[in-house]
Structure 1
Amino acid sequence: MPILYRPDRRPSAGSWLSKRGLMNLYASGEDYLEAILVLYKKFGSVRSVDIARHMEVSKPSVCHAVNILKEGFLTIDENHFLYLTSQGKVVAEKIYERHRFFTEELIEAGVDPRQAETDACKMEHVISDQSFPKLKEQKEKNRLLLNLFTAYVVKSVEGKRTTEIQNAISRLVKGKTVLIIVTNVYTKRKNTNA
Protein backbone atom coordinates (compact mmCIF):
# COMPACT_ATOMS: atom_id res chain seq x y z
CA MET A 1 0.00 0.00 0.00
CA PRO A 2 1.30 3.49 -0.77
CA ILE A 3 2.12 5.77 2.11
CA LEU A 4 0.16 8.94 1.46
CA TYR A 5 0.63 10.83 4.68
CA ARG A 6 2.79 10.93 7.74
CA PRO A 7 1.35 12.44 10.95
CA ASP A 8 4.75 13.45 12.36
CA ARG A 9 5.81 15.70 9.45
CA ARG A 10 5.88 19.44 9.91
CA PRO A 11 3.26 21.50 8.09
CA SER A 12 3.99 22.62 4.55
CA ALA A 13 2.02 23.94 1.61
CA GLY A 14 0.51 20.48 1.14
CA SER A 15 -0.64 20.01 4.73
CA TRP A 16 -4.25 19.58 5.79
CA LEU A 17 -6.36 18.94 8.88
CA SER A 18 -8.51 15.87 9.31
CA LYS A 19 -9.89 13.67 12.08
CA ARG A 20 -6.45 12.06 12.28
CA GLY A 21 -4.79 15.42 12.98
CA LEU A 22 -2.29 17.44 11.01
CA MET A 23 -0.99 15.45 8.06
CA ASN A 24 1.13 16.07 5.03
CA LEU A 25 1.01 14.36 1.72
CA TYR A 26 3.83 12.10 0.77
CA ALA A 27 5.09 11.99 -2.79
CA SER A 28 2.70 9.15 -3.60
CA GLY A 29 -0.31 11.22 -2.52
CA GLU A 30 0.91 14.08 -4.69
CA ASP A 31 1.37 11.63 -7.57
CA TYR A 32 -2.25 10.50 -7.30
CA LEU A 33 -3.48 14.10 -7.33
CA GLU A 34 -1.25 14.89 -10.30
CA ALA A 35 -2.56 11.81 -12.15
CA ILE A 36 -6.16 12.88 -11.54
CA LEU A 37 -5.38 16.36 -12.89
CA VAL A 38 -3.61 15.00 -16.00
CA LEU A 39 -6.37 12.48 -16.74
CA TYR A 40 -9.10 15.06 -16.20
CA LYS A 41 -7.40 17.47 -18.61
CA LYS A 42 -7.01 14.69 -21.17
CA PHE A 43 -10.38 12.93 -20.93
CA GLY A 44 -12.71 15.25 -18.99
CA SER A 45 -13.51 12.63 -16.35
CA VAL A 46 -11.60 10.29 -14.07
CA ARG A 47 -12.42 7.01 -12.33
CA SER A 48 -10.27 4.87 -10.07
CA VAL A 49 -9.66 2.37 -12.87
CA ASP A 50 -8.23 5.17 -15.04
CA ILE A 51 -5.76 6.07 -12.31
CA ALA A 52 -4.73 2.43 -11.85
CA ARG A 53 -4.06 2.12 -15.57
CA HIS A 54 -2.26 5.48 -15.83
CA MET A 55 -0.03 4.94 -12.80
CA GLU A 56 0.37 1.20 -13.36
CA VAL A 57 -0.73 0.35 -9.81
CA SER A 58 -3.33 -2.06 -8.46
CA LYS A 59 -6.98 -1.09 -8.03
CA PRO A 60 -6.80 -1.76 -4.25
CA SER A 61 -3.89 0.72 -4.02
CA VAL A 62 -5.97 3.33 -5.80
CA CYS A 63 -8.96 2.65 -3.50
CA HIS A 64 -6.73 3.06 -0.45
CA ALA A 65 -5.33 6.32 -1.80
CA VAL A 66 -8.75 7.66 -2.76
CA ASN A 67 -10.13 6.94 0.72
CA ILE A 68 -7.33 8.98 2.27
CA LEU A 69 -7.45 11.78 -0.29
CA LYS A 70 -11.24 12.12 0.14
CA GLU A 71 -10.44 13.91 3.39
CA GLY A 72 -9.82 17.27 1.77
CA PHE A 73 -8.25 16.69 -1.64
CA LEU A 74 -10.90 15.00 -3.79
CA THR A 75 -14.55 14.09 -3.96
CA ILE A 76 -16.42 11.21 -5.59
CA ASP A 77 -19.84 11.53 -7.18
CA GLU A 78 -22.61 8.91 -7.32
CA ASN A 79 -21.18 7.54 -10.61
CA HIS A 80 -17.75 7.05 -9.00
CA PHE A 81 -16.10 9.88 -10.91
CA LEU A 82 -13.29 11.62 -9.04
CA TYR A 83 -12.94 15.39 -8.76
CA LEU A 84 -10.22 17.44 -7.15
CA THR A 85 -11.29 19.86 -4.43
CA SER A 86 -9.86 23.37 -4.59
CA GLN A 87 -7.08 22.29 -2.22
CA GLY A 88 -6.46 19.12 -4.22
CA LYS A 89 -6.26 21.16 -7.41
CA VAL A 90 -3.71 23.55 -5.87
CA VAL A 91 -1.45 20.65 -4.87
CA ALA A 92 -1.92 18.82 -8.20
CA GLU A 93 -1.17 21.90 -10.29
CA LYS A 94 1.91 22.70 -8.22
CA ILE A 95 3.30 19.20 -8.70
CA TYR A 96 2.34 19.07 -12.38
CA GLU A 97 4.03 22.42 -13.06
CA ARG A 98 7.22 21.18 -11.43
CA HIS A 99 7.04 17.90 -13.32
CA ARG A 100 6.74 19.67 -16.68
CA PHE A 101 9.51 22.13 -15.78
CA PHE A 102 12.03 19.46 -14.77
CA THR A 103 11.12 17.17 -17.67
CA GLU A 104 11.66 19.99 -20.18
CA GLU A 105 14.93 21.05 -18.56
CA LEU A 106 16.30 17.51 -18.53
CA ILE A 107 15.32 16.84 -22.14
CA GLU A 108 16.84 20.18 -23.15
CA ALA A 109 20.04 19.12 -21.39
CA GLY A 110 20.16 15.98 -23.53
CA VAL A 111 18.62 13.40 -21.19
CA ASP A 112 16.58 10.63 -22.83
CA PRO A 113 12.87 11.63 -22.60
CA ARG A 114 11.85 8.50 -20.66
CA GLN A 115 14.66 9.00 -18.16
CA ALA A 116 13.78 12.70 -17.95
CA GLU A 117 10.19 11.78 -17.02
CA THR A 118 11.39 9.38 -14.33
CA ASP A 119 13.88 11.84 -12.85
CA ALA A 120 11.42 14.75 -13.01
CA CYS A 121 8.92 12.68 -11.03
CA LYS A 122 11.46 12.42 -8.22
CA MET A 123 12.65 16.02 -8.40
CA GLU A 124 9.16 17.53 -8.32
CA HIS A 125 8.60 16.27 -4.77
CA VAL A 126 11.87 17.23 -3.11
CA ILE A 127 12.47 20.80 -4.25
CA SER A 128 11.36 23.41 -1.72
CA ASP A 129 8.70 26.03 -2.26
CA GLN A 130 11.48 28.63 -1.97
CA SER A 131 13.86 27.11 -4.53
CA PHE A 132 11.46 26.25 -7.35
CA PRO A 133 10.29 29.83 -8.04
CA LYS A 134 13.93 30.95 -8.11
CA LEU A 135 14.77 28.31 -10.74
CA LYS A 136 11.78 29.34 -12.85
CA GLU A 137 12.72 33.01 -12.52
CA GLN A 138 16.31 32.34 -13.59
CA LYS A 139 15.20 30.30 -16.59
CA GLU A 140 12.80 33.05 -17.63
CA LYS A 141 15.55 35.69 -17.35
CA ASN A 142 17.84 33.58 -19.53
CA ARG A 143 15.10 33.03 -22.09
CA LEU A 144 14.28 36.74 -22.18
CA LEU A 145 17.93 37.71 -22.64
CA LEU A 146 18.36 35.20 -25.44
CA ASN A 147 15.21 36.43 -27.18
CA LEU A 148 16.32 40.06 -26.87
CA PHE A 149 19.78 39.21 -28.16
CA THR A 150 18.37 37.22 -31.07
CA ALA A 151 16.06 40.09 -32.02
CA TYR A 152 18.96 42.54 -31.82
CA VAL A 153 21.22 40.41 -33.99
CA VAL A 154 18.54 39.79 -36.57
CA LYS A 155 17.75 43.49 -36.77
CA SER A 156 21.45 44.43 -36.83
CA VAL A 157 22.29 42.40 -39.87
CA GLU A 158 19.23 43.64 -41.74
CA GLY A 159 18.46 40.20 -43.07
CA LYS A 160 22.03 39.42 -44.08
CA ARG A 161 23.19 36.03 -42.85
CA THR A 162 20.14 35.82 -40.56
CA THR A 163 19.77 32.05 -40.91
CA GLU A 164 23.45 31.49 -40.20
CA ILE A 165 23.28 33.62 -37.04
CA GLN A 166 20.06 32.00 -35.82
CA ASN A 167 21.58 28.55 -36.32
CA ALA A 168 24.66 29.58 -34.34
CA ILE A 169 22.48 30.90 -31.50
CA SER A 170 20.44 27.69 -31.40
CA ARG A 171 23.66 25.68 -30.98
CA LEU A 172 24.69 27.58 -27.84
CA VAL A 173 25.08 25.19 -24.93
CA LYS A 174 22.99 26.00 -21.89
CA GLY A 175 25.10 26.74 -18.84
CA LYS A 176 28.23 27.54 -20.84
CA THR A 177 29.68 31.02 -21.10
CA VAL A 178 30.38 32.26 -24.59
CA LEU A 179 31.72 35.47 -26.04
CA ILE A 180 29.72 36.75 -28.96
CA ILE A 181 31.14 39.48 -31.11
CA VAL A 182 28.83 41.05 -33.62
CA THR A 183 30.55 43.24 -36.14
CA ASN A 184 28.90 45.58 -38.51
CA VAL A 185 31.14 45.58 -41.54
CA TYR A 186 29.73 46.96 -44.73
CA THR A 187 31.66 47.82 -47.83
CA LYS A 188 30.48 50.64 -49.95
CA ARG A 189 30.69 50.06 -53.69
CA LYS A 190 31.58 52.85 -55.99
CA ASN A 191 29.51 53.29 -59.02
CA THR A 192 32.04 53.10 -61.86
CA ASN A 193 29.49 53.38 -64.64
CA ALA A 194 29.11 57.13 -64.33
Structure 2
Amino acid sequence: MSPSKEDYIKNIFKDMEERGYSQNKNLSHYLKISKPSVTEMIKKLTEEGLVYLEGTKIYLTDEGEKVAKKLISIHRLWEYFLETVLDFDEDEVHDQADLLEHVTGEKLTDSLNKHMGYPESCPHGQKIYINLENYKK
Protein backbone atom coordinates (compact mmCIF):
# COMPACT_ATOMS: atom_id res chain seq x y z
CA MET A 1 0.00 0.00 0.00
CA SER A 2 1.32 3.45 -0.85
CA PRO A 3 2.22 5.94 1.89
CA SER A 4 -0.49 8.23 0.52
CA LYS A 5 -3.19 5.59 1.00
CA GLU A 6 -1.84 4.83 4.45
CA ASP A 7 -2.14 8.51 5.40
CA TYR A 8 -5.78 8.52 4.30
CA ILE A 9 -6.56 5.39 6.29
CA LYS A 10 -4.90 6.78 9.43
CA ASN A 11 -6.70 10.11 9.20
CA ILE A 12 -10.08 8.50 8.59
CA PHE A 13 -9.49 6.32 11.66
CA LYS A 14 -8.57 9.34 13.79
CA ASP A 15 -11.71 11.17 12.63
CA MET A 16 -13.83 8.12 13.40
CA GLU A 17 -12.39 7.98 16.92
CA GLU A 18 -13.14 11.67 17.41
CA ARG A 19 -16.53 12.14 15.74
CA GLY A 20 -17.60 8.70 14.49
CA TYR A 21 -16.94 9.36 10.79
CA SER A 22 -14.76 11.36 8.42
CA GLN A 23 -15.55 13.68 5.53
CA ASN A 24 -13.80 14.90 2.39
CA LYS A 25 -13.39 18.41 3.74
CA ASN A 26 -11.60 17.14 6.86
CA LEU A 27 -9.26 14.92 4.89
CA SER A 28 -8.55 17.74 2.45
CA HIS A 29 -7.60 19.96 5.39
CA TYR A 30 -5.45 17.37 7.23
CA LEU A 31 -3.60 16.18 4.15
CA LYS A 32 -3.38 19.64 2.55
CA ILE A 33 -4.77 18.48 -0.78
CA SER A 34 -7.75 19.41 -2.93
CA LYS A 35 -11.23 18.01 -2.30
CA PRO A 36 -11.37 16.46 -5.81
CA SER A 37 -8.12 14.58 -5.02
CA VAL A 38 -9.70 13.28 -1.82
CA THR A 39 -12.79 12.17 -3.73
CA GLU A 40 -10.63 10.26 -6.20
CA MET A 41 -8.67 8.48 -3.46
CA ILE A 42 -11.82 7.63 -1.48
CA LYS A 43 -13.19 6.00 -4.62
CA LYS A 44 -10.03 3.85 -4.88
CA LEU A 45 -10.13 2.93 -1.20
CA THR A 46 -13.81 2.00 -1.56
CA GLU A 47 -13.00 -0.26 -4.53
CA GLU A 48 -10.29 -1.91 -2.41
CA GLY A 49 -12.79 -2.59 0.37
CA LEU A 50 -11.09 -0.36 2.93
CA VAL A 51 -13.73 2.37 3.26
CA TYR A 52 -17.42 2.86 2.61
CA LEU A 53 -19.65 5.90 2.27
CA GLU A 54 -22.99 6.85 3.77
CA GLY A 55 -23.90 10.10 2.08
CA THR A 56 -21.00 12.46 2.74
CA LYS A 57 -19.73 10.45 5.70
CA ILE A 58 -16.69 8.20 5.25
CA TYR A 59 -16.15 5.09 7.36
CA LEU A 60 -13.50 2.39 7.49
CA THR A 61 -14.53 -1.18 6.83
CA ASP A 62 -13.35 -3.84 9.29
CA GLU A 63 -10.36 -4.44 7.00
CA GLY A 64 -9.65 -0.71 6.80
CA GLU A 65 -9.76 -0.44 10.58
CA LYS A 66 -7.34 -3.34 10.89
CA VAL A 67 -4.91 -1.59 8.52
CA ALA A 68 -5.29 1.71 10.41
CA LYS A 69 -4.63 0.16 13.80
CA LYS A 70 -1.51 -1.55 12.50
CA LEU A 71 -0.16 1.68 10.95
CA ILE A 72 -0.90 3.70 14.05
CA SER A 73 0.70 1.04 16.22
CA ILE A 74 3.87 1.02 14.12
CA HIS A 75 3.99 4.81 14.38
CA ARG A 76 3.58 4.68 18.15
CA LEU A 77 6.15 1.90 18.54
CA TRP A 78 8.66 4.09 16.72
CA GLU A 79 7.74 7.03 18.96
CA TYR A 80 8.32 4.82 21.99
CA PHE A 81 11.66 3.59 20.66
CA LEU A 82 12.91 7.01 19.55
CA GLU A 83 12.03 8.69 22.82
CA THR A 84 12.92 5.99 25.35
CA VAL A 85 15.89 4.29 23.67
CA LEU A 86 17.45 6.94 21.45
CA ASP A 87 16.61 9.92 23.70
CA PHE A 88 14.94 11.97 20.99
CA ASP A 89 13.13 15.03 22.27
CA GLU A 90 9.37 14.64 22.55
CA ASP A 91 8.82 17.27 19.85
CA GLU A 92 11.00 15.33 17.37
CA VAL A 93 9.56 11.83 17.61
CA HIS A 94 6.32 12.37 15.70
CA ASP A 95 7.91 13.52 12.45
CA GLN A 96 10.51 10.75 12.56
CA ALA A 97 7.87 8.12 13.33
CA ASP A 98 5.81 9.42 10.39
CA LEU A 99 8.71 8.64 8.07
CA LEU A 100 9.52 5.25 9.58
CA GLU A 101 5.96 3.88 9.73
CA HIS A 102 5.77 3.74 5.92
CA VAL A 103 8.90 1.63 5.50
CA THR A 104 8.58 -0.77 8.42
CA GLY A 105 7.84 -4.35 7.43
CA GLU A 106 6.21 -7.10 9.46
CA LYS A 107 9.46 -8.64 10.71
CA LEU A 108 10.88 -5.31 11.85
CA THR A 109 7.57 -4.42 13.53
CA ASP A 110 7.57 -7.72 15.41
CA SER A 111 11.21 -7.30 16.45
CA LEU A 112 10.72 -3.71 17.55
CA ASN A 113 7.62 -4.64 19.52
CA LYS A 114 9.43 -7.54 21.21
CA HIS A 115 12.51 -5.40 21.95
CA MET A 116 10.31 -2.77 23.59
CA GLY A 117 8.51 -5.41 25.72
CA TYR A 118 5.18 -5.14 23.88
CA PRO A 119 4.21 -1.70 25.23
CA GLU A 120 0.50 -0.96 25.48
CA SER A 121 0.90 2.77 24.84
CA CYS A 122 3.36 5.26 23.40
CA PRO A 123 5.19 7.76 25.63
CA HIS A 124 2.29 10.18 25.10
CA GLY A 125 -0.23 7.69 26.52
CA GLN A 126 -1.89 6.72 23.23
CA LYS A 127 -2.87 3.08 22.72
CA ILE A 128 -0.66 0.69 20.76
CA TYR A 129 -3.05 -1.86 19.27
CA ILE A 130 -0.51 -4.57 18.44
CA ASN A 131 0.83 -5.89 21.70
CA LEU A 132 1.67 -9.24 23.24
CA GLU A 133 -2.00 -10.25 23.41
CA ASN A 134 -2.22 -9.97 19.60
CA TYR A 135 0.70 -12.36 19.25
CA LYS A 136 -0.92 -14.99 21.51
CA LYS A 137 -3.93 -15.35 19.20
In structure 1, the residue corresponding to 2:59 is in which secondary structure?
A: strand
Please show how residues 100-179 of structure 1 align to structure 2 within 5 Å.
100-108=76-84, 109-140=86-117
Shift in Å, 1:60: 2.1
Please show how residues 1-194 of structure 1 align to structure 2 within 5 Å.
25-71=1-47, 72-78=49-55, 80-108=56-84, 109-140=86-117
Q: Which amino acid counterpart does residue 115 of structure 1 have in structure 2?
A: E
Identity %: 26
Distance 1:100 1:27 in 2: 16
Counterpart position of 1:160: none
Shift in Å, 1:138: 1.4
> How many pairs does the alignment contain?
117
Q: Which amino acid counterpart does residue 122 of structure 1 have in structure 2?
A: L
CA RMSD of aligned residues (A): 1.8
The more displaced of 36-45 and 54-63 is 54-63
Question: CA 1:114 to 1:49, structure 2 compared with 1: closer, same or farther past 3 Å?
Answer: farther
Counterpart position of 1:187: none
Structure 2 residue runs of 5 or longer lacking an equivalent are 120-137
Per the normalisation by structure 2, the TM-score is 0.76
Shift in Å, 1:113: 3.6
Q: Which amino acid counterpart does residue 132 of structure 1 have in structure 2?
A: T
Question: CA 1:114 to 1:58, structure 2 compared with 1: closer, same or farther past 3 Å?
Answer: farther
Distance 1:118 1:31 in 2: 13
Counterpart position of 1:152: none
- Bigger radius of gyration, 1 or 2? 1
Q: Which amino acid counterpart does residue 110 of structure 2 have in structure 1?
A: P
Structure 1 residue runs of 5 or longer lacking an equivalent are 1-24, 144-194
Shift in Å, 1:64: 1.7
